[in-house]
Chains A and B, each alone.
Chain A
Amino acid sequence: METIISKKDIHNTYVIIPAYNEETRVRPVVEGIAKKGFKMVIVNDGSTDNTLDVLKDCQKKYPKNIFIYSHIINRGVGLAMQTGFEAVLKYNPKFIVNIDADGQHSVADIENVIEPLVSGRSEAVIGVRPLKDMPKSRNIANSIMNFLTKIFYNVDVSDSQTGFRALTIDALNQIQINAQGYLISSEFIREINDNSIPFEEVTIQTIYTPETQSKGTNYKVAFKIFIQMMKHKLFG
């Protein structure tokens, strides 16, 4: 039986959103989350477009739900998440959710990913995008990354590159994220596994548009992640 998410649970949940050059896509994501009553820590990762202005505008509308931090230069999604993880500790959250800023995730899935945490079944959740729903090139790149995550980090998951995850504050205090770029997804899974944190996979909806496909794990990114995994394995 599914646990019902109470208002208190929503109040105790903070959503971390790393955003880089998302001026046309970030508003519906942020306002959609705010309308549901969740609070957000948004990290503008040195965007060169008007992302920060759009975020400030959203903050005017939902001042109690939106907390903005901004990198002076672009350093990658991994560092933006690290900043988000550190910033969120100021607000004493109980549950933390990560979601992409480009609108590829459905805001409606936030309740689904925190449900296992609220019920106490698990301490961490990864939102799994069904491989069959992905465009072919993305599907192959993700399958390769799942295989590499299994080889290098010894964890078998259905979607190692998802940007939709959730974890409890206890789990957050146990993990150590050092990745600067897209390696963060695999590193998150490795940390969850290495710290024996009980985790669950929850199937999420993915909205693919030409814009959302322009970012994320393509072949080039997959190759970069592979090199970083090798480096981590060899040099620690």
Chain B
Amino acid sequence: MLVYSIIFPIVSILAIGIFYKRFKNGKNSLSSFIVWTILWIFIFVFSIVPDASSIFARFFGISRGLDFIIILAFAILFYIIGKLYFIIEDMQNDMNKIVKEVALNNEITLEDEEE
């Protein structure tokens, strides 16, 4: 048995457990829990039955199963990076609004100094 076929399923089970716990504690939405669980199930299946990736590869017109996994991994990574970029952008804008409002509502005067 190859090392990855032992490590990846363990990591997958742990990851699903972590996401379940986060969902239970209300830190993750149901949709994000389902998406991540499906992803980790895929990793679990592909690491135990590597040939399973060939079935998906053929379905999408890709010749090798490994190519399918690599393309899928890149697609997921780009999606996550894009999503994080927009989240950070929104947070930056929110932060700017707060910083500006706090400054505008708190003019520094000589009276403040005396207090």
A interface residues with partner B (beta carbon < 8 Å): 43, 46, 52, 55-56, 59-60, 63, 67-73, 75, 79, 82-83, 86-87, 180
Q: A68-B108, A70-B106 are in contact. Are A56 and B100 (CB under 8 A)?
A: no
In angstroms, Cα B95 to Cα A73, docked, is 10
Contacting pair B103 A43 (CB below 8 A): yes
Q: Interface size class for chain B?
A: 10 to 19
Contacting pair B107 A67 (CB below 8 A): yes
In angstroms, Cα B13 to Cα A81, docked, is 51
| B28 beta carbon closer than 8 Å to chain A | no
B interface residues with partner A (beta carbon < 8 Å): 92, 95-96, 99-100, 102-104, 106-110, 113
A-B contact pairs, 26 of them (CB 8 A): A43-B103, A46-B99, A52-B108, A55-B108, A56-B108, A59-B108, A60-B110, A60-B113, A63-B110, A68-B107, A69-B103, A69-B108, A70-B103, A70-B108, A72-B99, A72-B102, A72-B103, A75-B99, A79-B99, A82-B100, A83-B100, A83-B104, A86-B100, A87-B103, A87-B107, A180-B96
Contacting pair B110 A75 (CB below 8 A): no
Q: Which residues of B contact A63 (CB under 8 A)?
A: 110
Contacting pair A59 B92 (CB below 8 A): no
Report the 4 A-B pairs with minimum CB-CB distance, sorted nearest first.
A68-B108, A69-B103, A71-B99, A83-B100
Q: Which residues of B contact A82 (CB under 8 A)?
A: 100
Question: How far in angstroms is the closest Cβ of chain A from B92?
Answer: 7
Question: How far in angstroms is the closest Cβ of chain B from A64?
Answer: 11
